[in-house]
């Protein structure tokens, strides 16, 4: 059985020597302080309570979004940061309007009401709604095969489910979301009247999930309305269609797109003690969808990011580099905040070394994904033993975060917090993404995990 003992022993010995050269004791003491402060004297959960329960859903351009800007700016001011400011950015304003209404009508005229929600960015239906036969498809590919003859005048029903056997649920999302994002633009090409999309949800339940869609270059006059139906609703509709292929689907929605309006990224920073002109960013997005509080998406990421800076002050850590918290506006339906921030970085020639986003829910943190070179990745992986007591085990290449994505090419490390993803899509963009769905400890562990990575890269630098 020596074969099992040998590598582990070597591994331990070799990593021990690495660790010693990195002031393991000092680092593990700092991580312990950060985790203890987050878990015993944290502020993230209270902030999230306010954002979720006192302010609510924060769709770009809404009163709530502006309220959230004001609130988080005030809270950052109270943290005693070296600088707090608002970065202006113009954002789209889309409103859902009155509650959507839909029903399925059998060939014999029976109607059964089903819950839907307009996709973000969709046009309204005509004021009397749309009623048409339904063509169920498994995705965009199937449209061309069906052609204009079969699709013209119909409602296209995209019903490809998320793939349940993918362990990382974001991969399952990535495999389906084209139906939501481009489904209407594609169906319009074949003369469809509207589209209904199965919700991006791995759970069978009754919540329709909204989310961004785009008409691409579809002329305004040819844009057709798009709505989501719950997973239960989709299965019901699909099973009915097998019995009654010529049933009718009716839906009505009166969403509307207004002119862009003024909004803001909310930014605060602790000035670096040694390299004040080299920047680290930690952030989430302050906007959310309108169906719920946006507690997981992405209230959690915002309060965790603010907590990183509060924790540093709390434990008396003075970062070498300037550490910025950025609460980005308009991730959900435009990415204007992230784009604007990166533009300003470039315009001002600010040297950015590191950015970390939390936008995958306030669940138990498991690790990080990195867009960086191998040197920085290996460096992060070498900290595995420091993170092990906190059950942080995953340091992989992968998507960092939408809002910090535009910094790519102009920064050393882009990283994303990777919490447990199993429950994320149960709540994502749906009416149940509320404060009670967030566990306090899980949220706090995420904040401490972020603070720990920022501390380590601040201490040992990026390459």
Name the residue nearer to a second copy (CB basis): 256 or 393: 393
Distance of CA 130 to the CA centre of its chain: 32
Closest residue by Cα to residue 330 from 317, 340, 315, 342: 340
74 among known catalytic residues? no
Tell me how many degrees the CA angle 166-226-292 measures, rounded to the nearest 5: 70
Q: Mention every residue, 6+ apart, whose C-beta is less than 8 A from residue 402.
A: 285, 331, 335, 338, 357, 359
Name the residue nearer to a second copy (CB basis): 164 or 220: 164
Closest residue by Cα to residue 249 from 300, 197, 317, 172: 197
Q: Where are the alpha helices (DSSP H) in 218-267?
A: 231-243
Return the DSSP state at 335: -
Burial class (CB in 10 A: 0-12, 13-18, 19+), 163: middle
Distance of CA 399 to the CA centre of its chain: 11
Shortest Å, Cβ 213 to a second copy = 26
Name the residue nearer to a second copy (CB basis): 123 or 292: 292
Burial class (CB in 10 A: 0-12, 13-18, 19+), 388: exposed
Report the length, in residues, of the chain: 463
- Positions that interact with a second copy (CB under 8 A): 1, 3-8, 10-11, 14-15, 17-18, 21, 35-36, 39-40, 164-165, 167, 169, 202-203, 364, 366, 374-375, 378-379, 381-382, 389-391, 393-394, 420, 422-423, 426, 439-442, 445, 463
Name the residue nearer to a second copy (CB basis): 31 or 286: 31
Name the residue nearer to a second copy (CB basis): 3 or 220: 3
Run of H or E residues at 36: helix 24-40
Shortest Å, Cβ 109 to a second copy = 35
Please tell me which residue in 269, 331, 332, 444 is annotated as part of the active site: 331
Q: Which structure tokens are listed for 440?
A: 């306090």
Shortest Å, Cβ 463 to a second copy = 7
For the chain, give the longest Cα–Cα distance: 78
- Rounded to whole angstroms, how far apart are CA atoms 158 and 224? 14
Angstrom distances, CA of residue 243 to CA of 11, 106, 231, 247, 249: 61, 10, 19, 9, 15
Shortest Å, Cβ 22 to a second copy = 9
Burial class (CB in 10 A: 0-12, 13-18, 19+), 144: exposed
Shortest Å, Cβ 350 to a second copy = 26
Shortest Å, Cβ 389 to a second copy = 6
Name the residue nearer to a second copy (CB basis): 330 or 449: 449
Phi/psi for 419 (5° steps) reads: -80, 170
Shortest Å, Cβ 50 to a second copy = 17
Name the residue nearer to a second copy (CB basis): 165 or 217: 165
Residues classed as catalytic = 331
């Amino acid at each position: 059985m020596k074969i099992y003992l040998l590598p582990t022993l070597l591994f331990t010995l070799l990593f021990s020597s690495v660790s010693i050269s990195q002031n393991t004791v000092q680092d593990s003491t700092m991580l312990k302080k950060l985790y203890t402060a987050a878990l015993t004297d944290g502020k993230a959960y209270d902030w999230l309570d306010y954002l979720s329960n006192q302010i609510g859903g924060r769709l770009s351009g809404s009163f709530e979004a502006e309220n959230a800007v004001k609130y988080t700016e005030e809270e950052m001011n109270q943290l005693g940061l070296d600088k707090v400011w608002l970065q202006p950015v113009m954002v789209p304003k889309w409103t859902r309007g009155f509650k959507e209404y839909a029903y399925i009508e059998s060939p014999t005229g029976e109607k059964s009401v089903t819950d839907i929600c307009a996709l973000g960015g969709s046009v309204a239906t005509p004021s009397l709604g749309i009623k048409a036969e339904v063509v169920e498809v498994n995705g965009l590919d199937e449209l061309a095969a069906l052609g204009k003859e079969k699709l013209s005048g119909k409602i296209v029903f995209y019903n490809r489910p998320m793939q349940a056997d993918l362990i990382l649920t974001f991969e399952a999302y990535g495999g389906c979301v084209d139906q939501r994002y481009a489904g209407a633009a594609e169906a319009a090409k074949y003369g469809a009247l509207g589209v209904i999309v199965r919700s991006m949800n791995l759970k069978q339940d009754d919540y329709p999930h909204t989310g961004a869609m785009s008409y691409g270059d579809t002329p305004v006059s040819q844009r057709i309305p798009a709505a989501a139906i719950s997973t239960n609703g989709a299965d019901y509709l699909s099973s009915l269609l097998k019995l009654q292929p010529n049933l009718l689907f009716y839906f009505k929605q009166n969403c509307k797109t207004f002119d862009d309006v003024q909004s803001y990224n909310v930014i605060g920073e602790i000035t670096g003690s040694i390299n004040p002109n080299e920047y680290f960013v930690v952030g989430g997005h302050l906007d959310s969808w309108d169906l719920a509080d946006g507690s997981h998406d992405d209230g959690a990421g915002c309060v965790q990011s603010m907590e990183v800076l509060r924790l540093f002050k709390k434990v008396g850590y003075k970062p070498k580099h300037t550490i910025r918290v950025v609460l980005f506006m308009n991730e959900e339906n435009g990415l204007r905040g992230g784009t604007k921030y990166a533009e300003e970085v470039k315009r001002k020639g600010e040297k950015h070394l590191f950015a970390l986003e939390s936008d995958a829910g306030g669940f138990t943190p498991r690790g990080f994904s990195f867009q960086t070179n191998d040197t920085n990745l290996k460096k992060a992986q070498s900290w595995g033993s420091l993170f092990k007591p906190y059950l942080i085990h995953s340091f992989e290449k992968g998507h960092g975060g939408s809002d910090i994505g535009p910094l790519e090419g102009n920064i050393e490390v882009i990283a994303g917090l990777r919490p447990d993803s199993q429950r994320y899509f149960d709540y994502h963009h749906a009416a149940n993404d509320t404060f009670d769905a967030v566990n306090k400890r899980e949220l706090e562990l995420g904040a401490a995990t972020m603070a720990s990575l920022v501390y380590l890269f601040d201490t040992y630098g990026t390459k």
